[in-house]
Structure 1
Amino acid sequence: MAPDTQIQVIEQMVDEMLSSEPEYFRINVRIKPTNNVKVFIDGDKGLAIDKCVQFNRKLYKLIEEAAMYPEGEFSLEVSSPGVGEPLKNHRQYAKNQGRQVEITFNDDSKKTGKLVQVAEEDILIEETTGKGKKAVTQQIVIPFSNIKTTTIQIQF
């Protein structure tokens, strides 16, 4: 089975597994040449470790039963996407409203601001430039079609 086909089969398994738990959603599936299957899942309220373990066990059984790796030679990692991972879908944007984001545009220019609102076709960020009394805050509407990547900025 070709790697792309394997990914599609596993994506279907994940979606089916999550269909009974609508607050969770699939972000991404990657398979390394060593048959290391990495599944990224997120939840509207985050993803607890015990949920990761539960999903991992269910998915492991499904992959085994499908005999995708006849020798049983595969490993499976289920996790939420790391902080540095770009947002992939609409639900992730919605979940992260109120947080600082860095947006890289299709032309590789960047803007940083607070994610204020998420609509069907675009997002609204609040960008503050300057400091102290000279600080200027403006709201900017950005169509999804102009966005290459969006990453959450951790603030200390």
Structure 2
Amino acid sequence: MNQEKVRELLDEALQENQSLYLIDLQFLANSKIKVIVDGDSGVPLNECMRISRKIEHNLDREDEDFSLEVTTPDIAHALTVKRQYKKNINRILKVKTATEEFEGTLSEATDQSITLCWKAREPKPIGKGKHTVEKIMTLLYQDISEAKVKIIF
């Protein structure tokens, strides 16, 4: 399998729609190619088909038989690309670092970090009881070991 040719064809297909971006490209056993793409506003099925055709129609099955799967990340897939964070602003994320876990609403995503906001109950500074406080945490991408969108039904 000419992996470089597949990468070139995939790049060409993604350049035709600038709102799409690559999440993962895998060359698996038995000549299986798996492409995972995402988009700033989601990925319509016809875009997955267009990308698949762009790759498949420009490779020669006479030389090597292969299977090709073009898909989008599933709901359990962790966020891996900075553009995915920007796409999910105002959604609840579960974020793990090496030492802690956070769950909050993604309020900002820059090129270096993300900002999460959430409410917590804490003891009052004076007197008995608890009060609700708003927490804000900024995390650098390099410190995030895993981030997933929390799905609420």
Report the TM-score when normalising by structure 1.
Answer: 0.83
Superposed counterparts of 1:4-153, under 5 Å: 6=3, 9-62=5-58, 64-65=59-60, 70-72=63-65, 74-105=66-97, 107=98, 109-130=100-121, 134-153=131-150
Summarize the Cα distance change of 1:30–1:136 in structure 2 as closer, same or farther, 3 Å threshold: same
Report the AA paired with residue 140 of structure 2.
Answer: P
Offset at residue 134 of structure 1 (A): 4.1
Count residues with an aligned counterpart.
146
Flag as ranges the 4+ runs of structure 1 deviating above 6 A. none
More strand by share: 2
RMSD: 2.1
Cα separation, 2, equivalents of 1:98 and 1:56: 32
Offset at residue 13 of structure 1 (A): 2.4
**Higher alpha-carbon Rg:** 2
What secondary structure is seen at the aligned counterpart in 2 of 1:34? Answer: helix
Unaligned runs of 5+ in 2: 123-129
Report the TM-score when normalising by structure 2.
Answer: 0.85
Cα separation, 1, equivalents of 2:134 and 2:90: 15
Cα separation, 1, equivalents of 2:121 and 2:67: 49
Q: Deviations over 1:60-93 (max 9, x none)?
A: 123x14x7x8232x11110111111111111111
Cα separation, 2, equivalents of 1:135 and 1:10: 53
